[in-house]
Amino acid sequence: MGLGLRSLIIGFLLATASPREGVYAQEESSSSKSSSLESIDTPSHEPIASKYTDPSTGDPSILIAQTQRLNNQTLLWGPYRPQVYFGIKPRLPDSFIGGLMWAGVNDYQWLQKNFRHTCEQGDEVDGYGWVQYDVRTGGTQKVADRGNGVDLVFELRKVEGGQHGGHWGVRVKGTPRRDAPKDVTTALWFYAGLEGEGDINLVNEENYLGLEGDVTLAGQAPGLGKFKLTITEGPETNQHPLQEHQASLSKPLDRTLYKAFVMPFEHIWKTKADILFMHIQENLNRLMKEFGRENHPPAWDSFTLENVFEEGNLHMVQKTFVGAFEFDILYTSESAETPMTSDLLTQKILEFKETFPERFSAAFKLQPPFNTHEYTEFAQTMFSNLIGGIGYFHGTTLVDRSNADEYAEEDEEFWEGASAALKNADVKTEGPFSLFTSIPSRPFFPRGFYWDEGFQLLPMLEWDVDLALEIIKSWFSLVDEDGWIAREQILGDEARSKVPSEFQVQYPHHANPPTLFIAITEFPTHKPTNPPLHHTAHIDHQFQQILGGTESSSDMRTAHLSPPLAINFLQSIYPLLRRHFYWFRRTQLGDLKSFSHNAPFPKEAFRWRGRTPTHCLASGLDDYPRATPPHTGELHVDLISWMSVMTRCLRKIAVALDSAHTNSEEPSPYAEDIATFITMESHINKNLDALHWSAEENLYCDVTIDTDYEEPVHSCHPGYISLFPLLVGGIIPPDSPRLPHLLRLITDPNHLASPYGIRSLSPKSPMFAMGENYWRGPIWININYLVLVRLLEYARVPGPNQKVAREAYLDLRKKVVRNVYKEWKRTGFAWEQYDEGTGEGRRTKHFLGWTSLVVKIMGMPGEVALVQKEYVDWAV
């Protein structure tokens, strides 16, 4: 096919490991932002993909548009409200919103203590989440609800068809727990509303005793067209509370209760506190007046909706069951030829249960000793909860663009002035913006975090390349004209409701580790294990299906591995990456001029902004020990390592795009960039060694200024920061004299090696486990994953460090996986971090973000042979 995928990959890897020296291309300065940004955001030629004229692709522009349309269709619907136990919405702003709430209603205390809607850290549940899930087809979620005495299962399935994302259905099943009362009674409230234009109306005939049989709502909205929503009665085995009190005569609970509400669009999401609870309180007050305290009805008759049949933009139905129960919620897009039915939902449930395990095994290929049934079940749950936590967020954000002088952090004790400026910030509301993203944790961090996202995308690339690229595109759509992306995306009132007010405002001088560049670097060289779309014949067939509109959701997962689409993606994202990179260089630059730093190159040194004496939130490593007190002349080894990652990524993309451009009659706009990034990468890596390696400590360290002598000194705290030049790859060759010292730090039990993984800080540091102890000892899976990746690389290259790296890799891989598995079995949850002394999960539970990297670790080799051949060139 014209340029094959193999050629694209070769072009992506062409840049050598020893970049040539050269003069920098002119960089941006703050005084010439607008003109410089113009040049940064070129090239100004037509999309490279349009050069493809292979007959099997047809017109590439049509191919690109059709692929995007099909991705939008298959990804339109999902449980994209991860902060609630079950919520569903489309990837559309101000559109449909749906969700389910429930509580035990055997007595009055149950509802107050155990009402379930938003995922909360303190809920009495023994675990919850997706045990099998695929964003394009659906999955199975389980909630072990100890507090309410019932275990719930949600079987969500999507069905393709029509022009508006197809159908979906969810089967809700409840089973009493063994220790629950025999007559355990559960009330469930399903709601459906519109946060914007459109309408929803009840189809059933009004009945003030309640609705009999299935309940159907019909509606229409922009982007969705016409639709129907049916809440079924369920099987005959469903049981309901008996009519034992006079109150039940007016609302028999073997019927479905219904009420419509008229709400401001921006308040639709407040279904629990502002809508349902307020309505129930009014009902309780009425019952108290009618029956008094002595003859008050039971809880199940009191916590009920009033049957009110009015027009509204929020519709709520209530079902109340005794014992086990089951019912379906069926959404039908009327643009499809056939409706969604319970029989079709059953068929899709059975199909998915057969195909998901096969596809998962093909995608991740778990290696010994983790290729057993128990570990496979664990891996499926970990990964399913990662992608089951993907959300679509839309709304405004709070930003301080005052550009206060104190934010430049140029004065002594700059943090005090910056802190005062933050408190008096001129905060503005910006947006609305939209973001499609995965999240770290449903109960505690249900929003996008910039430095988490790159790690979270790595397992997704094994499963669904196009899904990962959709998320990357969404993130970089948020790059502002200066190149800034807020490190925490808190979009809209619903997202802000989960964030303390002091953390809601974002600051355009604060950065965050650019982990998305790691995921982007992996994309063009990624070779999926299912299906084999890198074969030309399959690609040709796929293009024909895409152009004909017959592509299935399963095939869309790797559409962008085809050359025209891959190149089009890289070309579209490259200017945004470049703009973002230059924002980093401009705003996080270190001061080499004012102090006698031993740096061979004057531009390549960097300092995180936003430092305080106890924290560096911008670094992502919050309380990890830094120089005390902070100094304007300090330099950060982790940040310069990230700058090397960004430069290497941009260099590789520029080489790939330049290679793809060779058939064009126009001159390549990437040649100058390639020379610039080769030089930058070389200078960054050389400055990194010159500035940050401490020969005295045999460690990479931050640099600060000795205030007595006004000279640079190293600030060394052995731990994760000491490893960053190794962690990011491409900097330390296997024969480096510094590598044995880093390997010793990793493997020494007196430093970072623990029985459960690599500690974040050495016990020999005086700051170990002190203060809030967030990054001062606990084990983090994202860093352990990077350590394993590098150990495996060194273990595969002959040399004096090969054997040590191999043994360390094999030992660490087993420790990390076994401990995360042990804690999952013990508690029912994955955790944010793990105690270095006991291995116990700590901090946030149900933290599937980068802790899900354990699935990637399980797929890494279980054995590594010692290769005996001459070392040539280890890096690309």
Cα-based torsion angle of the residue sequence 792, 797, 800, 803 in order, rounded to the nearest 10 degrees: 40
Compute the distance between CA of residue 699 and CA of residue 724 in angstroms, rounded to an integer: 11
Which residue in 622, 793, 807, 840 is the catalytic one?
622
Q: What is the 3-state secondary structure (H, E, C) of 585-630?
A: HHHCECCCCCCCCCCCCCCCCECCCCCCCCCCHHHCCCCCCCCCCC
Bridge partners, 217 (sequence order): 202, 229
Among 692, 705, 837, 699, residue whose Cα is nearest residue 768: 837
Decide if 341 contacts 260 (C-beta within 8 A). no
Among 183, 306, 313, residue whose Cα is nearest residue 250: 306
| HSE, side-chain direction, 13 A CA sphere, residue 677 | 25
Decide if 567 contacts 49 (C-beta within 8 A). yes
CA distances from 548 to 58, 63, 159, 411, 568 (A): 11, 10, 19, 63, 20
- Scanning 229-333, the segments in alpha helix (DSSP H) are 247-250, 278-291, 299-302
Place of tokens 């909630």: 143
DSSP string, 635-697: B-HHHHHHHHHHHHHHHHHHHHHHHHTTT-SSPPTTHHHHHHHHHHHHHHHHHHHHHHEETTT
Residue 38 a catalytic site member: no
Exposure string of 151-167, with b = 16+ CB inside 10 Å and e = fewer, is bbebbbbbbbbbebbbb
Residue 804 is classified by DSSP as H
Which residue in 195, 328, 466, 832 is the catalytic one?
832
Handedness of CA 402, 406, 410, 415 (dihedral sign): negative
For helices 373-388 and 450-463, the axis angle rounded to 10 degrees is: 130
Compute the distance between CA of residue 382 and CA of residue 853 in angstroms, rounded to an integer: 9
Peptide bond connecting 47 to the previous residue in cis, omega within 30 degrees of 0: no
Cα 861 from chain centre = 26
Instruction: Report the length, in residues, of the chain.
Output: 876
Other beta carbons less than 10 A from residue 530's beta carbon = 17
Peptide bond connecting 222 to the previous residue in cis, omega within 30 degrees of 0: no
Query: Could you tell me where the beta strands, DSSP code E, fall in 381-447?
Result: 391-400, 427-437
Residue 407 is classified by DSSP as G
Handedness of CA 461, 467, 473, 478 (dihedral sign): negative
Residue 254 a catalytic site member: no
Residues marked active site are found at 622, 832
